[in-house]
Amino acid sequence: MLISFLGLLLLVVAFTVFRTFRLTVKTPEPESCEQLPVNLDEAVQRLSRAIQFKTISRQDASLIDGEEFEKMHRFLDEAFPLVYEKLEQETVNRYSLLYRWEGKNPDLKPIMLTCHLDVVPVEPGTEEDWDHPPFQGAVTDEHIYGRGTMDVQSGVMAILEATEALLREGFEPQRTVYLGFGHDEEIDGEFGASEIGRLLKSRGIEMEFLLDEGLPVVEELIEGVKSPVALVAVAEKGYLSLELSVASEGGHSSVPQGTTSIARLGEALHRLENNPLPAKFDGLVKSTFEAIGTGMPIPFRFIFANLWLFKTPLRRFLATIPATDAAMRTTTATTIFESGMKENLIPTIARAVVNFRIHPNDSVESVIAHVKKVINDDSVKVEKLFGYIEPSPVSSITNEPYRQLARSIRQIFPEVAVAPSLMVGATDARHYTEISPNIYRFFPLRAEQSDLDRVHGTNERLSIENYGEMIQFYARVLINNTE
Ligand SMILES: [Zn+2]
């Protein structure tokens, strides 16, 4: 009996080890490509000028300084004379920009590259913490400093630099190319990208491929992953806030009657947090790990190669890390709790707001159904707040547009693994879902974990070398995705 058990164990060990080493990177060999001639010093100077425009988005849209946007538009016209001359250009809703570069073959569907012109404000009181003032556009030996160098005027400028350089080389795309730059992405894009999307839809235009800003090239995604990973978000989570409220008798605290509204609501919230929506390892998260492949450290590869055995423990393990947990499920977070105003009065009402970031596996309605089922208490009223958004559709990772995008990434960043991923935040891309079935969110920014705090934070900066890669990357996309 013992012998046969040992035999079985050995067989299992041999099989799992065999599978571990059979797991190979499926990504093709890096392919070299010709660098497009670009004068990087001059391009850096142009980016520095762009950083100096205070195209700041503020929660109160009436505080936006329109003149700064108009000045930036005029600057772009001067900075990119061939773009100005050869592309059709229109302003949308005053401050957003839409360009059209006519392709040679009108039978092919167009492509679109998008980014945004606005930036977030600098948090008052932190101006002095910057090594160089945030709107000065300072250039050091290695970096360009300033608000917008990472998010995302560098993207707008790199796209235009690539376009200008290709025009100079006499490149003519087969497909028509649209460039769309919204002016209010940081406050949801309702007036910028959303208007551009509506306009293109009203003209009956459908894109073959749309690339928005998004996730970066992360230097060390998981501890032990040797090569950097270019994360391409193929979907974006939805957004929902639910208001939960309980009304009760109230009265004086000297003669309490039954359960108070506070306790009842507290119980409901406790149940909700203890019973989140289920996490799933299949689908996107699995594709992400699959793409990282042999770049993973051996213990991870061993587990990953043997999902037949380890899927459940792996899912449980990943759920203990907040970032991977958020990638596998709809997250639940209680953000507001209000009740009571006097220590000797029992309040008649208790109110809370719970915020959900909806995974593409779920929907607004399925989240509400889950919440009601888990709370299982009719005295708790559940209402959805304005501003909810369904999760985006999931774009394909087996079609030609994705293959070409991945190819462009590998041509410019030969050492990286390209992995599909889920965007837990939001970008302008969601305003384009009706004009393109294939939407990808990727930004050719190299970011170490510690750099990520600079986005929307202090000392936002971009290395000059990386800026050169950005320009070359967008040029590859304009070549590869228009063939
Ligand atoms: Zn952005």
pLDDT in tens, 186-245: 998 999 999 999 999 999 999 999 999 999 999 877 776 777 899 999 999 999 999 999
**Distance from Cα 115 to the centre of ligand 1, integer Å:** 7
**Residue 470: its pLDDT value, please?**
98
Please classify residue 110 by burial: count the beta carbons closer than 10 Å to its beta carbon, then call 0-12 exposed, 13-18 middle and 19+ buried: buried
**Gap from CA of 442 to ligand 1 centroid (Å):** 11
C-alpha of residue 185 to centroid of ligand 1, in Å: 7
Whether residue 45 is contained in a domain is answered as yes
What pLDDT, on a 0 to 100 scale, did the predictor assign at position 22? Answer: 62
**Predicted local distance difference test score (pLDDT) of residue 251:** 79
Distance 164 CA to ligand 1 centre (A): 23
Kindly indicate the confidence band of residue 18, based on its pLDDT and cuts at 50, 70 and 90: low
- Give the model confidence (pLDDT) of 77-92 as tens digits: 999 999 999 999 999 9
Q: Which whole number is the average pLDDT over 436-457?
A: 91
Res. 281 pLDDT band, cuts 50 70 90: confident
Reported confidence tier of residue 299, pLDDT bands at 50, 70, 90? confident
Would 16 be classed as within a structural domain?
A: no
Model confidence pLDDT, tens digit, residues 427-438: 999 999 999 999
What is the distance in A from the centroid of ligand 1 to the CA of 431?
Answer: 14
CA of 397 to the centre of ligand 1 (A): 23
What is the distance in A from the centroid of ligand 1 to the CA of 443? 10
The reply to whether 64 and 206 lie within a common domain is yes
In this structure, the answer to whether residues 225 and 240 fall within a common structural domain is: no
Confidence (pLDDT) at 308: 80
Please report which confidence band the pLDDT of residue 413 belongs to, taking 50, 70 and 90 as the band edges. Answer: very high
- Identify the sign of the CA torsion 171, 177, 183, 187: negative
398 and 347 fall within a common domain: no
Please, which pLDDT band fits residue 14 given cuts at 50, 70 and 90? low
Q: Are residues 72 and 170 in the same domain?
A: yes
Same domain as 284, residue 179: no
pLDDT given for residue 384 in this prediction: 95
Based on the fold, state whether residues 63 and 132 are members of the same structural domain.
yes
68 is catalytic: no
Instruction: Examine residue 377 and state whether it is found in any structural domain, yes or no.
Output: yes
Whether 60 and 209 share a structural domain: yes
Range of 450's domain? 40-229+392-480
3-state SS of the chain?
A: CHHHHHHHHHHHHHHHHHHHHHCCCCCCCCCCCCCCCCCHHHHHHHHHHHHCCCCECCCCHHHCCHHHHHHHHHHHHHHCHHHHHHCEEEEECCCEEEEEECCCCCCCCCEEEEEECCECCCCCCCHHHCCCCCCCCCECCCEEECCCCCCCHHHHHHHHHHHHHHHHCCCCCCCCEEEEEECCHHHCCCCCHHHHHHHHHHCCCCCCEEEEEEEEEECCCCCCCCCCEEEEEEEECEEEEEEEEEECCCEECCCCCCCCHHHHHHHHHHHHHHCCCCCCCCCHHHHHHHHHHHHCCHHHHHHHHCHHHHHHHHHHHHCCCHHHHHHHCCEEEEEEEEECCCCCEECCEEEEEEEEEECCCCCHHHHHHHHHHHHCCCCEEEEECCCCECCCCCCCCCCHHHHHHHHHHHHHCCCCEEEEEEECCCCHHHHHCCCCCCEEEEEEEEECHHHHHHCCCCCCEEEHHHHHHHHHHHHHHHHHCCC
The answer on 289 and 199 residing in a single domain is no
Q: How many domains does the chain have?
A: 2
Q: Is the pLDDT of residue 278 over 90?
A: yes
Q: What is the pLDDT of residue 16?
A: 62
Q: Does 310 fall in a domain?
A: yes
Pairing of strands 209-218, 439-447: parallel
Question: CATH number, domain at 277?
Answer: 3.30.70.360
Determine the pLDDT at residue 101.
Answer: 98
151 in the same domain as 108: yes
Within-domain flag for 286: yes
Residue 29 is predicted with a pLDDT of 67
How many angstroms separate the alpha carbon of residue 414 from the centre of ligand 1?
A: 25
Decide: helix, strand or coil at residue 379. Answer: coil
| Residue 27 scores a pLDDT above 60 | no
> What pLDDT digit, counting tens, does each position of 173-182 carry?
999 999 999 9
Residue 208 and residue 60 share a domain: yes
> Does 297 map to a domain?
yes
CATH number (domain holding residue 56): 3.40.630.10
pLDDT of residue 139: 98
CA of 254 to the centre of ligand 1 (A): 54
Ranges 18-22, 62-66, 289-293, 383-387, most confident: 383-387
Going from the Cα of 422 to the center of ligand 1, the distance in angstroms, rounded, reads 16
The answer on 260 and 223 residing in a single domain is no
Output the CA 168–ligand 1 centroid distance in Å: 29
CA of 127 to the centre of ligand 1 (A): 21
**Which among 118, 195, 236, 362 is annotated as catalytic?**
118
Last residue of a domain, one of 352, 384, 416: 384
Is 302 a member of any domain? yes
For residues 233 and 327, is the Cβ–Cβ distance under 8 A?
no
Report the predicted TM-score, pTM, of the whole model to 2 decimal places.
Answer: 0.88
Evaluate whether residue 267 is within a structural domain.
yes
pLDDT at 458: 94
118 is catalytic: yes
Which of these three, 345, 360, 384, is where a domain ends? Answer: 384
From ligand 1's centre to the CA of 301, what distance in Å? Answer: 34
Choosing from 151, 185, 195, 460, which is the catalytic residue? 185
State residue 71 phi and psi, 5-degree precision.
Answer: -65, -40
Q: pLDDT band for position 141 (50/70/90)?
A: very high
70 and 207 inside one domain:
yes
Give the end of a domain, one of 384, 404, 423.
Answer: 384
- Separation of CA 151 and ligand 1 centre (Å): 5
pLDDT bracket for residue 7 (50, 70, 90): low
